[in-house]
Structure 1
Amino acid sequence: MLTLTHTAAEAVKDIVARVPQAEDGGVRIRDTGTPSGFELSVAPDPEPRDTIVVTDGARVFLDETTAVVLEDRVLDAELAQDGSVRFALSSHG
């Protein structure tokens, strides 16, 4: 299952907190099937068949395809001085 670093979990919670209608929601990651990779969006609730990853109170929703593709990956985040966030995926170990 996808693993989140502490920094990524904090970034997810911060992003979700900025969207009033999704305050109990999470970040949904969807495999676009294109070279650009994945699409991230804030969602108030997971879709019925989503895999839910919870780390330090941060919730990430993965559609079926994405859950398989990211099975052994780690989501990390880099926080910029201006408040923007850049996510990166790496392999375990």
Structure 2
Amino acid sequence: MPAKEGSLVLTLTETASTVVKTIVAQTPELDDGGLRINTDQPGGTEFAVSVAPAPEAGDAVVEAEGAKVFLGQFAALALDDKVLDAQVGEDGTVRFAIGDQA
């Protein structure tokens, strides 16, 4: 699903890009894989996140600094004008945050 002309699409912070690449690299058989974000309903605010070998049919693909994020149809609509950030805890846990684009 290509971005609409003149629309904003999900962007990734530098930290989020690094974290996505690190997570995907932990599954070496996924040469061209990415992080897939999806929600089951239009306007959904609860997102499932998983590592995927490739986008599914109808997914939007966002690439930033070598990181790939695949957005399911409803997730792409919900995150169209958002920024994905990530925080890594001292114990290595990852927490993603979604904010508005400036």
Matches within 5 A, 1:1-93: 1-33=9-41, 37-93=46-102
Q: TM-score, normalised by structure 1?
A: 0.92
* Moved segments of 4+, more than 3 Å: none
Deviations 1:16-73 (A, max 9, x none): 001122232000000144x771010000010121100000000000011111110000
Q: Which runs of 5+ in 1 are unaligned?
A: none
Distance 2:52 2:64 in 1: 17
Distance 1:41 1:78, change over 3 A: same
Distance 1:12 1:23 in 2: 14
Instruction: Give SS of 1:77's match.
Output: strand
Distance 1:8 1:74 in 2: 9
Distance 1:60 1:66 in 2: 11
Q: Could you tell me which amino acid in structure 1 is paired with residue 27 of structure 2?
A: V
Q: Which runs of 5+ in 2 are unaligned?
A: 1-8
Distance 1:37 1:11 in 2: 20
Q: TM-score, normalised by structure 2?
A: 0.84
State the identity as a percent. 48
Larger radius of gyration: 2
